[in-house]
Amino acid sequence: MRRFLRPGHDPVRERLKRDLFQFNKTVEHGFPHQPSALGYSPFLRLMAIGTRSGAIKLYGAPGVEFMGLHEENNTVMQIHFIPDQCQLVTLLDDNSLHLWSLKQHSGASELREEHRFTLKGPPGSPPSATQITAVLPHSSREVLYLGTESGNIFVVELPSFRVLEDRTITSEAVLQRVPEDYCNRRSCELVEALREHPKNPDQILIGYSRGLIVLWDLQNNKVTHHFLGSQQLENLYWQRDGSKFISCHYDGSYTQWPVSSDNRQPEPLENLVPYGPFPCKAISKIYWQTTKNGLPYIIFQGGMPRASYGDRHSISVVHGSQQTAFDFTSRVIDFFIIFSSEPTAEFDDPSAMVVLAEEELVVIDLKTAGWPAVHPPYLASLHCSAITCSHHVSNIPLKLWERIISAGSKQNIHYSNMPWPIDGGTNVAPDPPQRDLLLTGHEDGTVRFWDASGVCLHLLYKLSTVRVFLTDADPNDNMNTLGEDEWPPLRKVGTFDPYSDDPRLGIQKIYLCKYSGYLAVAGTAGQVLVMELNDEDAEHVVDHAEADLLQDQEGYRWKGHEKLKTRDGPVRFEAGFQPFVLVQCQPPAVVTSLALHSEWKLVAFGTSHGFGLFDHQQKRLVFVKCTLHPSDQLALEGPLSRVKSLKKSLRQSFRRIRRSRVSSRKRRGGSGNASEVQEANAKFDQDALQEMELAPVQRKIEARSAEDSFTGFVRTLYFADTFLRDSSRHCPSLWAGTNGGTVYAFCLRVPPAERRMDEPVRAEQAKEIQLMHRAPVVGILVLDGRSTPLPEPLEVAHDLSKSPDMQGSHQLLVVSEEQFKVFTLPKVSSKLKLKLTALEGCRVRKVTVANFGSCKTDDYSENDLAVLTNLGDIQIISLPFLKLQIRYPCIRKEDVSGIASCVFTKYGQGFYLISPSEFERFSLSTKWLVEPRCIVDMPEVTSNNHMHNKSGIENAARKS
């Protein structure tokens, strides 16, 4: 080891560094931000989602996913798979077309952009002449038909995108044989829809926005049928046998048209306004699906009565007498139906409906009675309530893993058992090396447990802390409970619900002990809950304790929110994590740090006022320590009300407005305080804005002093069994670090196990260290005699870690936002330091010990610090000598929420939010890499490939 420590470029160390460290952004988890287009290939059984930032993501079987990004970063308007090919075409809002292909490369498929093309009209023509509105990839796979705003349809060759000018279908040619009086009333206008005949590839159906629909014969270049629609057209759909098609319209109606060789200008078979008679909104897309039993499924988007339900985002499914209007939580971007694509099959027999809404993906099982939702294995809406914190636990023991899954499965009974219907491609990635859990805390007081072991971030279990408290929300207030004869038959689907009933419920800190199953969760209103995993439902009383962190400090008045009211009496909890004790901090300020020691049965918590230690075995408060500086008025006044961002307060006030609108019938009261705070915030924001205008970019240079605000804010808590008093006896200890650069160390006396319930836990302050640079302390760590970080509680007991070296001298590592410092123990003398900010001007935002294994040899691994700075860089710093090993730019420095959301794992991976709904996963390690690796094979193309799949080709041709 010693030779690696020399400064400068030791070639041996440099080589080892290459074997240890490597930076990769591997996969994006969650739901794409601002989706704008959807496509599906029944041939590949792959789904594609495009976004407003120009990203395109392909999903198949769990683990099969691809991502591409258009250079232009323009909104993806439409996605069309080329029939029977591993290719797709995207249309962006700059009117450019892009051809993407999936190609195999060294054992895995890759998504690559092959060509791009912008349709150019003759010189001098208006831009609308070539503005593409509809795209039809022909089943011959040789040409694309491009409908435009001008009404002309251009034909381009694939894959070259060469325009075949002689095959252009002009609106003049189409109008030639249209009856005079119809023609006068409405000109063609733009091409709304293009559909290929399901049986005859030489015929395409063209729909114009004013209502005219024609069947065009490609061989003879002429119109064979005219369908004189009287309503503005939205979309078209062929029936499977090609004998009929259906059109949907702006006025909320749909019309069936017969196609036969004897009538060239047929009258509609049926014209229906499903939610009439009052004016309805447009039906923007419609499906007509045949079944064996004869009753078709008619599935359409929109069409709700304009006045009463015009704000609903609905898709209606009609099957005989059954009718349900699925009511989505956000705008529907697009949807498709999965049905039998076998060319020999006589009927469509739809199996599932896949709906891309703006904030979530919903899949409905159409085969099971009641049409239940299918639980998606990916594309989870992480932000169904805003994420407030996250916590990662690596290498979960199998037992705990199974218990969590079992608790979660009891919550998922209302989901369909249908296997995931989008199952294209093969996942060839190696199995995840271990079971990892990502826990996210949410604004609505829930904690979600995600399987973060592999490429698919999958929800295992959802825990709600709300039951412990009395909230404004009426538990019986269920939007779904509608009477039998309610019309329209709305049914709410989806989980996205960004509006929290009470922001005080928000989860701020999570700590899970993977060995014991103890979980501590702390929230916005100073609530700390300790929970235990129980496999059965149970009804019990939650014990309740108060921790007065101000102690005898006088003359302080808390102007922030009140604590949450608790439910009296026993509370029923479902199987899973069940709270057994609640510690309420007073004042009820947001909990800023949390630590749990499952072996000693202690939980430590800190706020902006101080910290406390609670014995959850005896359910007794051990001690509290006020860290407040007497002159720090700001910390006392409220929940950081004055440092709240403008955005946040806007969001909150918006939420309040919305809440009062939604629940006007709910009881009022207790809002006086809230409005006061809001007013004060508004005033503060205004002041801040004014100040900003006066001094646009100016920064004050001033040393920190003990009198600064929020110096008492507790940033980190740490339990350690170390040499605090003398070098002969080690003892349990609790360490706390504050915003003002103070470190407190308390010596703990925990009674032995046999007398654990009889004797009290005692604590005594042993040390207090004041860092002279006074920067916030963000991390505390004790290194044992071998300079290895102390193991987690119970880790040794479960034989998962070597016991720490209690012979040699221990060292204390204190990480502030500006410096890393190593001190000796038990006598505190400074040993080493790394002044990060003074040298580089960056500050530590997150720090974790991570274990890095060599990719070359199995027997070498080392512990280092993984550090995220305020500039979004990740640095790896060696232990115990604090040498910078490597630096990678990771997050844009302007992306403050991304940096704030970052969480590192114990094995050199990490997650951060790239949008409210997506985690980017990255890896710093050469050894632990979780990234998608999958193959998409061309399925066997049958001889009658022209017939194959035609009916299933998704033509998501519609305007957004």
Partner 1 sequence: EFRRFSLERSKPGKFEEFYGLLQHVHKIPNVDVLVGYTDIHGDLLPINNDDNYHKAVSTANPLLRIFIQRKEDADYSAFGTDTMTRKKNVLSNVLRPDNHKKKPHIVISMPQDFRPVSSIIDVDILPETHRRVRLYKYGTDKPLGFYIRDGSSVRVTPHGLEKVPGIFISRLVPGGLAQSTGLLAVNDEVLEVNGIEVSGKSLDQVTDMMIANSRNLIITVRPANQRNNVVRNSRTSGSSGQSTESSLPSSTPNILANFLQGEEESDEEDIIIEDSGEPQQIPKAAPTSESLESLTQIELLHESTQNGFLPSSEMNLNHSAGSVSMEYEVQDPDHKSLEEDGTIITL
- In the complex, which residues of this chain contact partner 1 (CB under 8 A)? 2, 5-7, 551, 620-625, 629-630, 695, 697-704, 706, 762-773, 775, 818-819, 821, 823-824, 828-835, 837-843, 870-871, 881-883, 893
CB 771 within 8 A of CB 742: yes
* Rg (alpha carbons) of the chain, rounded to whole number: 32
Q: Please compute, for residue 564, the number of CA atoms within 13 A of its CA located in the half-sphere on the CB side.
A: 32
Using the minimum distance from each CB to partner 1, give the nearer residue, 286 or 822.
Answer: 822
* CB 748 to partner 1: min, Å: 11
Structure-block tokens of residue 769? 């260290």
* CB 683 to partner 1: min, Å: 25
E strand or H helix at 171: helix 171-175
Residue 591 makes CB contacts below 8 A (sequence gap 6+) with 508, 509, 522, 523, 524, 526, 527, 528, 585, 605, 606, 607
Using the minimum distance from each CB to partner 1, give the nearer residue, 499 or 881.
Answer: 881
* CB 508 to partner 1: min, Å: 25
Of residues 100, 117, 118, the one with CA closest to residue 109? 100
Which amino acid, 203?
Q
10 Å CB burial of residue 844 (0-12, 13-18, 19+) is buried
**Other CB atoms within 10 A of residue 807 CB:** 8
Of residues 216, 211, 223, 311, the one with CA closest to residue 253? 211
* CB 817 to partner 1: min, Å: 9
* CB 1 to partner 1: min, Å: 10
Of residues 955, 960, 958, the one with CA closest to residue 88? 955
CA dist 863 and 722 (Å) reads: 19
CA dist 881 and 941 (Å) reads: 62
* CB 555 to partner 1: min, Å: 15
Per the DSSP assignment, residues forming a β-bridge with 716 are 737
Using the minimum distance from each CB to partner 1, give the nearer residue, 175 or 775.
Answer: 775
Using the minimum distance from each CB to partner 1, give the nearer residue, 214 or 771.
Answer: 771
* CB 825 to partner 1: min, Å: 11
* CB 783 to partner 1: min, Å: 13
SS3 73: coil
CA dist 379 and 458 (Å) reads: 8
CA dist 132 and 34 (Å) reads: 22
Using the minimum distance from each CB to partner 1, give the nearer residue, 601 or 629.
Answer: 629
CA dist 44 and 422 (Å) reads: 9
Using the minimum distance from each CB to partner 1, give the nearer residue, 571 or 621.
Answer: 621
Using the minimum distance from each CB to partner 1, give the nearer residue, 248 or 622.
Answer: 622
* CB 579 to partner 1: min, Å: 23
Using the minimum distance from each CB to partner 1, give the nearer residue, 375 or 893.
Answer: 893
Using the minimum distance from each CB to partner 1, give the nearer residue, 369 or 697.
Answer: 697
* CB 607 to partner 1: min, Å: 16
Using the minimum distance from each CB to partner 1, give the nearer residue, 204 or 882.
Answer: 882
Using the minimum distance from each CB to partner 1, give the nearer residue, 698 or 943.
Answer: 698
* CB 632 to partner 1: min, Å: 12
Using the minimum distance from each CB to partner 1, give the nearer residue, 94 or 764.
Answer: 764
CB 66 within 8 A of CB 57: yes
Structure-block tokens of residue 189? 């206008």
The single-letter DSSP state of residue 834 is E
Q: Please compute, for residue 375, the number of CA atoms within 13 A of its CA located in the half-sphere on the CB side.
A: 15
Per the DSSP assignment, residues forming a β-bridge with 954 are none
Using the minimum distance from each CB to partner 1, give the nearer residue, 695 or 753.
Answer: 695
Look at phi and psi of residue 753 and say left if phi exceeds 0, alpha if psi is from -120 to 50, else beta.
alpha
* CB 828 to partner 1: min, Å: 5
* CB 707 to partner 1: min, Å: 9
| Per-residue CA distances from 92 to 36, 249, 937 (Å) | 10, 25, 27
Structure-block tokens of residue 495? 């989980």
